[in-house]
């Protein structure tokens, strides 16, 4: 029985992590759109784009670990 409980707990933790990462991606995407609409130059958005890509990689690794 503890195996089932452990599995459910691990799955729930993974779901929370995926949800948090998706929320962070949405927030960072909106910030990039806001900067672009405000006239920011591509070089000025480099750090934000890099951070966005890092979050995408983290999400990908979490999803790959679940498979």
**Domain positions in the chain:** 2-66
Q: In the numeric block, which tokens belong to residue 48?
A: 């934000």
Task: Report the alpha-carbon distance of residue 53 to residue 67 in Å, rounded.
Answer: 21
Nearest to 55 by CA among 23, 32, 30, 31: 23
Instruction: Please give the pLDDT value at position 1.
Output: 56
**How does pLDDT run across 22-62, given as a tens digit for each residue?**
999 999 999 999 999 999 999 989 999 999 999 999 999 99
């Amino acid at each position: 029985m503890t195996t089932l409980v452990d599995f459910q707990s691990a799955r729930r933790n993974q779901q929370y992590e995926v949800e948090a990462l998706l929320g962070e991606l949405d927030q960072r995407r909106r910030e990039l759109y806001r900067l672009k609409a405000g006239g920011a130059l591509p070089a000025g958005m480099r750090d934000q784009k890099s951070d966005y890509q890092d979050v995408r990689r983290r999400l990908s690794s979490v999803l790959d670990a679940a498979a």
